[in-house]
Amino acid sequence: MHTKTIEQLIQGLRAKEYSSVELTQHFLDRIAKHDPAINTVITLTAEQALQEAAAADKIIGSKDAPNLTGIPILHKDIFCTQGVKTSCASKMLDNFIAPYDATVVSKLRNAGTISMGKLNMDEFAMGASNETSFYGASKNPWDLECVPGGSSGGSAAAMAARLAAGSTGTDTGGSTRQPAAFCGITGLKPTYGLVSRWGMIAYASSLDQGGPMAISSECCAHLLQAMAGFDPKDSTSVQHEIPDYLADIKRPIKGLKIGLPKEFFTEKLDTNIAKVIDTAIKELEKLGAVIKEVSLPNIHLAIPTYYIIAPAECSSNLSRFDGVRYGYRCDDAKDLVDFYERTRSEGFGTEVKRRILIGTYVLSSTSFESYYRKAQKVRKLIANEYLNAFKEVDIIASPTAPEVAFKLGAKNTNPVDMYLRDIYTSSVNLAGIPAVSIPAGFVNNLPVGLQLIGNFFAESTILNAAHQYQLVTDWHQQVPTAFV
């Protein structure tokens, strides 16, 4: 059951080949057996999941049953879940029981999914390897000595190990796509404003966006159908008619114009990765896509721009964690300043504190114009370059990451070295447009991701190309040997 797509599971449940209780128990058994090796689950809600599955079984097949009734999923531990620990993988929130559900959580529940628990991640979504988690890093199922990517590393690793039918992730600079690439699964970062951020613990509010992570593009389309939509509780949520993603992905892609940014395909790109991406592009060409070179001249400034804007917003957002109303609180404070400083210093990990201090620096009166305002202008330049490119093409393709998964601990000494992992992904968040990463092959027995970037609200277009590619390839169906 665990290798089936969400569509196949929906059909199996409706045909009574198995019940939702059996399906949920099957995944819970797999979590018990396999998770100790990869450390993806922070909180398991097995009992609650089985109760929800039993309730789902009573309505499966009836007219009233929503589309995803009885499908077991796991949530990144950044989404608030009422009555269940929501830690953001931080000591700061290790004791935090969320008093309400995130909109993404309630929408997926209303669509019929069963939540089995909460997934590991980089602390407050700050990291590209999962190693900043308070609960220890998740491991990559393809090689347990390698990172699963980050920040949604738990979501990606859990999907690669087939521990659920789908999962949720969030993406601020590549956090659904890069781990999806490292773990050989499909991960989508939707258009900013398409998926509500309400109840999704904020890192950088102008960049953060929740998205689905699953085996295939079709699975992601199923999950996105449930997650997307206007939410009055999120002031940046956009009123946009939600298309029928499942219908849209079935269209042939003959004539689809795919742009390859010349700045992404230089001699700096690893030759083995380049070979995989080249083969994938040829496959899309065989399906009728037309390939064209495009240019994004200032794209090399995306990472520096990102690492000014994201820490600035982070320093502002994370000021709410002061130990007063919830979360970690230090012992025996001698006064209020000592209380705040020790609570935050003991509660946050090193990378989070580093970003808070960078953010505080770039927002300070002497640096505001030269760093923060300047970065906001460069952001505009980069966004405009994408919009210009989309006048010529429908999709932009690139590698998702400059390399395959690296060894745990390999990039811990220099933060800038870790930041450079976002080279193909962070510009998408700066522009606010959608992108998906799909498995396209292997290098040294580790998965390689192909990134397909679309214009605003063009989720159908990129999921369509991804789905058509997955109909003629089987990279997305590969399962690591130890997790078959």
Give me the residues that bind another protein (CB under 8 A), please.
83, 95, 97, 99, 192-193, 205-206, 232, 235-236, 238, 298, 301, 304-305, 307-308, 315, 319, 322, 324-326, 329, 333-342, 344-345, 348, 350, 353-354, 356-362, 364, 370-371, 373-381, 383, 414-416, 419, 430-433
Query: What minimum distance in Å lies between the beta carbon of 310 and another protein?
Result: 11
Nearer residue to another protein within complex by CB, 414 or 481:
414
Q: Going by C-beta distance under 8 Å and a sequence separation of 6 or more, which residues neighbour residue 298?
A: 378, 381, 382, 385
Nearer residue to another protein within complex by CB, 70 or 311:
311
Query: What minimum distance in Å lies between the beta carbon of 307 and another protein?
Result: 5
Query: What minimum distance in Å lies between the beta carbon of 365 and another protein?
Result: 11
Query: What minimum distance in Å lies between the beta carbon of 56 and another protein?
Result: 27
Nearer residue to another protein within complex by CB, 39 or 343:
343
Query: What minimum distance in Å lies between the beta carbon of 199 and another protein?
Result: 14
Nearer residue to another protein within complex by CB, 26 or 342:
342
C-alpha 78 chain-centroid distance: 11
Closest CA to 81 of 68, 96, 69, 92: 96
CA distance 228 to 210: 9
C-alpha 136 chain-centroid distance: 19
Supply angle C-alpha 108, 462, 432, rounded to 5.
75
Query: What minimum distance in Å lies between the beta carbon of 216 and another protein?
Result: 27
CA distance 76 to 342: 28
Query: What minimum distance in Å lies between the beta carbon of 299 and another protein?
Result: 12
**Bridge partner residues of 189 (DSSP):** 435
CA distance 79 to 121: 11
CA distance 484 to 482: 6
CA distance 429 to 22: 39
Using DSSP, state whether 168 is helix, strand or coil: strand
Residue 168 has phi, psi (to 5 degrees) of: -105, 150
CA distance 102 to 323: 22
C-alpha 237 chain-centroid distance: 18
As annotated, the active-site residues are 76, 151, 175
Residue 82: CA count within 13 A, CB half-sphere? 8
Nearer residue to another protein within complex by CB, 189 or 222:
189
Residue 166 has phi, psi (to 5 degrees) of: -170, 165
Stated length of the chain:
484
Strands (E) across 276-349 are located at 290-294
Instruction: Classify strands 114-119 and 72-76 as parallel, antiparallel or unpaired.
Output: parallel
Task: Judge contact between 376 and 370, C-beta under 8 A.
Answer: no
Whether the CA torsion 102, 107, 109, 115 is positive or negative: it is negative
Nearer residue to another protein within complex by CB, 336 or 472:
336
Query: What minimum distance in Å lies between the beta carbon of 45 and another protein?
Result: 15
Nearer residue to another protein within complex by CB, 95 or 444:
95
Q: Going by C-beta distance under 8 Å and a sequence separation of 6 or more, which residues neighbour residue 440?
A: 276, 277, 279, 280, 448, 449, 450, 473, 475
Nearer residue to another protein within complex by CB, 182 or 198:
198
